[in-house]
Structure 1
């Protein structure tokens, strides 16, 4: 994306930034660089470190922008209503995601007020600080970014560099190389295996990867600057290496679904499709570098799951890489001889039908082996295809019991939940069952949507899902005119998928809400163009 293209798709008449726009851009740079790498006491306080940093940076941005707006209106002797009238009235000024974000905040506040533990719901102290305060800041930055962002390429350049640093640290940590001394005071082997880089728990690193890697992959395809595409390709490769070391199913799930969706999205345009396969090829090749590093480290590394081992250690993965190389070369030759080829709409439609049929097939097989045939030995596929209490590192137990609790709860709890991040209290009657899996308690369902259903109720969950659906739908509508929405919504989609088996927390979820805001900001700047 060169500056000319960026300016045109964001509907800006000049390249000059206002103070408000500059503040938003600087905030984004800090959140994409300092925030992921920030810590004060190794892993011991890392969640609170990032929680405090996010609140601090966001407070400065919100207060500064609000102050400038009020001062400007005072000097100009106008009011916010004047701006609303200029934009065509209140209905024209607000979008579905805007209303959904407001509703999510309001329902979270109601949930907090009626909670049996309102202070815990306010601060999220019974869980991972996902209380009303954090949600209020999510809403605040959403409205600041959607109204005042004027994108510049340096935002994503800084994201690529900082993310690469996080990825490389994860790879080094996988081989017990600790340049930052993060493990110097840890003695428990399991803790050392579960924590990594400057993010913390490997599941949270997986969440971080599911936010940043899709953006980097999309940039590798859509960026018009050849030098920057090289940067984004390298960063994508490092991201895939980190994903292999994170040993987390959520990342594989999120990136797998995202990869298929973007194949369907790019398949009509040969120019984009060739870059997509080049990106996949580079990522797979970088994954093989882990095998080389492992060789020189005498195979002294953290353990990987079988799925990750296939990409790193299996000789069969060379066939996959070779296939991607051949496809990439053929697509480059085709695009060179016949540039600007666009395939019929039937191609992505057919690919989408095949993908949907595959998903339906997998779900059908899971239902069959979970309900009708619970005896057949499925071997290594047991943990995937048979849903029971032990499924997904006993996520099945937590999901089933959480839904049982929801079914037995009273009307107010069904509607508004037990309070933001108060899952611990709702699930406490089922703690005894966790002991058979080596746990004595839990403060999360390990499924963000079930977690929201218990803590925020039907109203809060519906508002949250409307926010996600609205942002994605508007991004799809504006994608043809503005590829920036395609890039930003990549993070939203991938995170939303991995959230099925992961946890919301202040280490990576703030970045997710930032990309929600950025996606909507680009949609707001583009959709008016489509109506003209």
Structure 2
């Protein structure tokens, strides 16, 4: 059958080639990536149609016994939510005052109806015609570690790719690796970190476990050296929700301890690098400083490494005595499957702590923004206080976006102004602003959808993401590959609160979500995917 191999090629193009593909440095990066994605989806659709025509036609066989009842039963909640989202985006485009701009997204970041339709077409092709392969995520990590390494070398101002030659000096720090803007870069690297962490924690084979650990360390270095605060939203989502998966057994608790220890070790190493190299590297003026300049960081690190030695020491000693790699696998993780062994109490405790933390942050936001007590929170006060200057003028964009949305007639509040027409909506209102900038994106994916495809579109999109999460939790908790894809989507979705929807990192998120859904559909017995 040719169709699964065509899916293999498409997955490889998006997960491995797409992030590294660049023409003419950063000058037309968005267009280059956009056209590459269009070409990849056109290849997928065309090749799939040709393969189905010349081979054993699955389409003919399918439609020969087509029944509406059976057809509808094949649709999951996530499929329905996606179709509703695309339908609303289509209606929003047709009813928009700017149909052409809504369709192509040419007045924004090319995320119009056309690109959304490509996401949808690729989703149904991959989830219906593909076979989930373990090498998908391994290849994703291997290729994107190059993205991370280029980002790290850019941090040291080596510019190995010579992309920054001729660039204005004060803008060089804003662009990195083969991704471009540091916010988009950290969105992608956050997904690499999530996949690395889950696969490291769940892997049973020792050699492969070491490779995932190396990938995790490199990606954390790259994420922090991306000098974007957006990265910490990804890390908060990963570290906050990962225990709900890992704390199913003692092995998972140990893995989480090592992951957290590795993160703080990277932070300390970067602080030493910055102190030693001084102006040779960019100053990280972000949440990094709050962590790295804490008086107790070294003490915390010492304590964490002692705990790691205490919990992992016996495993290594026993494995060494037996002189067998299989013994190491037995002591650290059993086989290739991550098995729950009755640590539900610890999971519930963590869930309670997580809820308390979220409520605490909510109370702090109210205290700072409505009670005026920003000074009470020290350095964190600047992150909690929402004003026009918050988040590099994001506060200004969000305030004006909501004011414009409130002035919409009811129909536009429901279906929006048209996909990716945010810049048109805000053009007159923000003209001549004190920042001297033009705002064509909300820098908040959810607010962006609210303005462009309305309440209905936003709810459908959220239903799409949430239904995927529910399916993973219910059906794939033993499949580390599906779980890794889910955590990548989760980290992207967390950054999306302050980030842009661009055809640079967003296609990667859609691809990983497709693979997660494919893994769920293909493994109804909830076992691991078939070995390649």
Partner of 2:481: 484
Q: Per-residue displacement from partner, 1:122-176 (whole Å, max 9, x unpaired)?
A: 1111111101111011001111111123233332222222211111111111121
Question: SS state of the match for residue 244, structure 1?
Answer: helix
Contact 1:236 1:283 in 2 (8 A): no
Structure 2: stretches of 5+ with no match in the other structure: 319-329, 335-339, 528-532
Farther-moved stretch of structure 1 (70-79 vs 377-386): 70-79
The CA deviation at 1:310 is 5.2
* TM-score using structure 1 length: 0.89
The CA deviation at 1:74 is 5.2
The CA deviation at 1:54 is 1.0
- The 2-side partners of 1:398 and 1:156 are apart by 36
Partner of 1:209: 189
Q: Per-residue displacement from partner, 1:208-263 (whole Å, max 9, x unpaired)?
A: 11222101111111123322222221111111111111121221012112211002
Partner of 1:368: 367
Q: For 2:248, which of 235, 256, 268 is the aligned residue? A: 268
Tell me: CA distance 1:74–1:301, structure 2 relative to 1, closer, same or farther (3 Å). Answer: closer
- The 2-side partners of 1:152 and 1:130 are apart by 29
Tell me: CA distance 1:74–1:198, structure 2 relative to 1, closer, same or farther (3 Å). Answer: closer
Q: CA RMSD in A?
A: 2.6
Residue 129 (str. 1) matches residue 129 (str. 2): no
Question: SS state of the match for residue 420, structure 1?
Answer: coil
Contact 1:58 1:141 in 2 (8 A): yes
Q: Per-residue displacement from partner, 1:46-93 (whole Å, max 9, x unpaired)?
A: 1111111111112101221233335556599633363768xx812321
Q: Per-residue displacement from partner, 1:300-339 (whole Å, max 9, x unpaired)?
A: 1112024223556767433333233233233325778996
Question: SS state of the match for residue 79, structure 1?
Answer: helix
Tell me: CA distance 1:380–1:74, structure 2 relative to 1, closer, same or farther (3 Å). Answer: closer
Question: SS state of the match for residue 428, structure 2?
Answer: helix
Farther-moved stretch of structure 1 (445-454 vs 239-248): 239-248
Contact 2:482 2:516 in 1 (8 A): yes
Residue 151 (str. 1) matches residue 148 (str. 2): no
Structure 1: stretches of 5+ with no match in the other structure: 1-17
Q: For 2:74, which of 75, 83, 93 is the aligned residue? A: 93
- The 2-side partners of 1:288 and 1:456 are apart by 44
- The 2-side partners of 1:327 and 1:117 are apart by 60
Q: For 1:453, which of 446, 450, 454 is the aligned residue? A: 450
- The 1-side partners of 2:344 and 2:228 are apart by 36
Residue 515 (str. 1) matches residue 495 (str. 2): no
* TM-score using structure 2 length: 0.89
Tell me: CA distance 1:317–1:421, structure 2 relative to 1, closer, same or farther (3 Å). Answer: same
Residue 53 (str. 1) matches residue 36 (str. 2): yes
Q: For 1:308, which of 288, 302, 320 is the aligned residue? A: 288
Equivalenced residue count is 508
Partner of 1:466: 463
Q: For 1:41, which of 11, 18, 24 is the aligned residue? A: 24
Aligned positions of 1:486-501 closer than 5 A: 486-501=483-498
Contact 1:233 1:282 in 2 (8 A): no
Partner of 1:11: none
Partner of 2:5: 22
Residue 443 (str. 1) matches residue 423 (str. 2): no
Partner of 1:8: none
Contact 2:444 2:498 in 1 (8 A): yes
Partner of 1:12: none
Partner of 1:10: none
Farther-moved stretch of structure 1 (466-475 vs 402-411): 402-411
- The 2-side partners of 1:75 and 1:518 are apart by 21
The CA deviation at 1:343 is 4.5
- The 1-side partners of 2:94 and 2:398 are apart by 26
Partner of 2:323: none
